[in-house]
Amino acid sequence: MSLAHAVTGQVRLLPDSIFSGPQSPFHVQGIAIDQANGFMYFSFTDRLVKTDLTGKTIGSVSGFIGHLGDIDLSDDGKIYGSLEYKNDAIGKGISKKLGLTATGQDAFYVAIFDAAKITKPEMDAEKEDVLRTVFIKEATDDYKAIVLADGKKVAHRFGCSGIDGLTLAPSIGSGPSDKKYLYLAYGVYGDTTRSDNDHQVILKYDVSDWEGYSKHLSQTELHESGPRKPMEKYFVKTGNTRYGVQNLAYDPHTGNLFAAVYKGAKSKYPNYDLFVIDGKKKPISTAFNSDNKSIKVKTLALADSGTKESGDNGWRFSWGATGICPIGDGLFYISQPSKTKDGLEQTMLFKYRWLGDAEKAFEMVK
C-alpha cells in the first residue's frame, strides 16, 4: 500500500482498473503499487504476486503454509508483509486447503521481499533468495497469553489473533518526514462476550536496523530472531471488529492512516467497515484495563470526520478489507475480489476518489 510514492501528474495516467487474474485458492489480502517502475503487487494468502499495470503476471513467490496478509512497498524497493503461523481456525483451514502439515507452532513475522528479484512465477519462498523474515515477539506473546477479562480467564491478550494490517509511514503526530516507520496492526478476535477487545492495537518499528534480525524462512524450524519490543504500542478505540485491521494504508495526501476492517458484531457500537486514524495528532497517554489491572498506554485519535454514531467516527464502505492503496492526489486503488467457477480467487482494482464526508467515504472514478 505504498505510492512508491506518488508522482503528481502521473497519477491521472494510471489505469482506472487493474485485474489480477486468477491466482490462488485463497482470497487477496493486500495490494501495493510501484508507480516508478510500473508494477502492482498482490498478497493472496499463500503467495505474493507481481504484475505490470495491465495485470500481466511478471512473477510470484509461493509455498507459504502460513497466512501472508497485508503488504506495503518501501522507498528502497522492498515489499513488507505480515506473515502468521498459528493453530487456530484460520491456520488449520489454510493447511487443510493446501493439503499440507502445519508447523504446530504459533509465531508471527514480517516478511521482507526483494521486489527486484521477483522475476518468474512460482518462486519458492524457502528455497530461493527472495525474502527474509523478522520475528514479532510482542504480537506472539500477546497471542499466547492467558489473561483475566470480565472476571474470567481467556486466551489472547487484547483479543490478539495475530497480525494483519501493515503500512510504512512517518512518525504519527510529528508532521511530514522522509523517515518512515513500520506500523503493524493486530488481528483482533470478534468475541462479543469480552470487553478487552474493543481497541485496535498497532505496533511501531524502526526497520532501518532490522538487517541483523532478518533470517531465511524455514517453515519447519520457525526462528525467533527479531526486536524484543516495538518502539511504541498504540491503541485506537473503534469498537470491536472481526479479526482487526485487515488493511492499513498511509496516505501522504491527507497525512492519515486508513484502516479497513471486517465489521464487528457488538450491538453497542456502530460497527463501521472503515476508520481513518489522524496522522497529525500526537498520541495521548491514558489508562487501559488489561488482565484485571490498569495499565498506561498511548492512544491514537480517529480523524474528526465521517459518520458519527455513539461518539465514534467511521464509514460504512463495502470494500477495502482485501486491499486499499493510496496512489496520490486523493486517489486510491481499492480491491473488489471475486472467484472463478473453478474456485480460484482474483480481484479487480478500481480507482476511487476520497471524499471523507459524513455521507460517503469514496466515489469511484469513471
The secondary structure of 75-133 as a DSSP string is TTSEEEEEEEE--SHHHHHHHHHHT----S--EEEEEEEEGGG--STTEETTTSTTEEE
pLDDT given at position 204: 98
Written as one letter, the residue type at 289 is N
Q: Using 50, 70 and 90 to split pLDDT, how confident is the model at 90?
A: low
**% of the chain beyond a pLDDT of 70:** 92
Q: Is 187 helix (H, G, I), strand (E, B) or coil?
A: strand
Task: Report the alpha-carbon distance of residue 282 to residue 275 in Å, rounded.
Answer: 17
Average pLDDT over residues 181-188: 98
Average pLDDT over residues 336-349: 97
Q: pLDDT tens across 2-30, in order?
A: 444 444 557 778 999 999 999 999 999 99
Assess whether pLDDT exceeds 50 at residue 265. yes
pLDDT given at position 57: 97
Q: Which residues, other chains included, contact 190 with Cβ-Cβ below 8 Å and sequence gap of 6+?
A: 197, 240, 241, 242, 243, 262, 264, 265
Which domains can be identified in the chain, with CATH numbers? Answer: 11-364 (2.115.10)
SS3 content of the chain, % helix, strand, coil (to 5): 10, 45, 45
The grid coordinates of residue 45 equal 494468502
pLDDT given at position 311: 65
Query: How much is the mean pLDDT over the chain?
Result: 92
Average pLDDT over residues 213-233: 96
Lowest mean pLDDT among 84-88, 149-153, 335-339, 362-366: 84-88
The grid coordinates of residue 291 equal 488482565
pLDDT given at position 93: 62
Assess whether pLDDT exceeds 50 at residue 347. yes
Nearest to 270 by CA among 317, 242, 309: 309
pLDDT given at position 98: 60
β-strand 199-205 against 232-237: which pairing, if any? antiparallel
pLDDT given at position 118: 98
State CA 188 to chain mean position distance. 12
Average pLDDT over residues 211-236: 96
Task: Report the alpha-carbon distance of residue 249 to residue 320 in Å, rounded.
Answer: 10
Distance in Å from the first CA to the final CA of the chain: 22
Q: How many CA atoms lie within 13 A of 280 on its CB side?
A: 7
Lowest mean pLDDT among 125-129, 130-134, 310-314: 310-314
- In the DSSP assignment, the letter for residue 170 is P
The grid coordinates of residue 308 equal 458519527
For 364, other C-beta atoms within 10 Å of its C-beta total: 13
* CB distance 31 to 323 below 8 Å: yes
Task: Report the alpha-carbon distance of residue 52 to residue 40 in Å, rounded.
Answer: 6
Q: Is 153 helix (H, G, I), strand (E, B) or coil?
A: strand
Q: Is 219 helix (H, G, I), strand (E, B) or coil?
A: coil
pLDDT given at position 105: 86
Assess whether pLDDT exceeds 90 at residue 177. no
pLDDT given at position 87: 79
Question: What does residue 359 show for φ and ψ, rounded to 5 degrees?
Answer: -95, -35
Note the pTM of the prediction, 2 decimals.
0.94
Written as one letter, the residue type at 331 is L
* CB distance 236 to 191 below 8 Å: no
Average pLDDT over residues 45-52: 98
